[in-house]
Amino acid sequence: MQNKKSVVFITPENMLPLARSVKKPLISDNRFAGIVISEKKLRCLVKNAFFDKFFPEGSGSRRLFKKCKKKIHKRNPENMTYGDWCGLPQKTVRNLLYRFVPDVVVVSTEEALRSILVERKKTGVKCSVCVMFGDKAQDELIDEQVEFYFVEDLTERNALIANGVPAEKIVMGIAVLSEQKSREDLRNEAKSSLGITKQAILFLVEKADEDEQEQISVLPGTVNETKEALFICDDQETAGLIISAGGRVLGPDDEDKAITAADLIVATKEGTLSKRAREKKATVNILPVDDSVSEYVESLLAQIKPDASKKPKIGAAYADCLKNLLEEKLNAEPIEQEEPEEEEWTVEKDDDDEE
């Protein structure tokens, strides 16, 4: 990790998948490095096996034990952060900071947070500390020395703000990503605004000559009842031909909505309409002259696969925040230390020296 800005994740076993999902997009930039470490590897296994047996994690007895330790070490809470009850030995945490010299440390438990804050001060390693929450926000992890808090949704964010955490320190995962609408959401909204409840087939009909008018006049009847045909025409004469055949022709103002709402777009031939649709990143199919329109449309619809429901990538939002934090450290100018002034030493001669 030399010559790279680095992030060290110290998490319990249940948070390892989330930590790795944050690390993956982070290290895609070769200027940054990351390492994920399980708290279990840092702990004293014999001591923790004994401790976890009598005071299981999350139990009332363990919480009571912590409260008693806090009261005992109330005057000097730094003494309660190591292997006596949390299982993160002082020497192990210190060696970790010395070995990796991270620019950012991400923790998920109170034990890791307190240990890193204390050892950061003792070792002189200038690293930022971030907290990544799992199921819910914990009051014990709130500290003014924390740079950022990573939470999954708005409920956790509001809980932190209620406990005095500034909003600018909170980074959301799912809530932020859910604001980015999928293609399917946009299509459904466009269909709703146009009053469409079925599969939408959009026909882009260029100006037709006499030989093409017969094929165009039968287009409205080629789509069965389970689908809805929409038409955008290049001239009034062609539009009138389709309307007389029972087709629904949309005006220029609805062209963008129709392209967004369409499950399938078919153009009678290459022209300005198909060009404009492709400029909007739409897939346009050109209608063959000889084939049956209904069979051609059905074959195209059979090839369309529904949009897969992608799970929101929580780690991507967290990784972006860490990248920005590392960028700041990367661009920070090194502080020039003033060299201490050399003191001038004068030697006074004794009378004996003169002789």
pLDDT digits (tens, 9 = 90+) for 296-353: 777 777 766 554 444 456 677 788 888 888 888 877 645 444 444 444 444 444 444 4
For the beta carbon of residue 249, count every other beta carbon within 10 angstroms.
19
- What residue spans define the domains of the chain? 5-43+88-178+314-331, 183-303
- Please give the class, per CATH, of domain 5-43+88-178+314-331: alpha beta
pLDDT at 354 over 90: no
User: Which letter, b or e, does each residue of 121-140 get, where b requires 16 or more Cβ atoms within 10 Å of its Cβ?
Assistant: eebebebbbbbbbbeebbee
Considering the chain, what percentage of its residues have pLDDT values greater than 90? 8
Q: Please tell me if the domain spanning 5-43+88-178+314-331 has the same topology as the one spanning 183-303.
A: yes
pLDDT at 285 over 80: yes
CA–CA gap between residue 196 and residue 190 (Å, rounded) = 8
Average pLDDT, stretch 240-255? 85
- CA-to-CA separations, 168 to 128, 138, 148, 269, 346, in angstroms, rounded: 16, 18, 8, 54, 58
CATH of 183-303, one of 3.90.1140.10, 3.40.50.2000, 3.40.190.10, 3.40.50.800: 3.40.50.2000
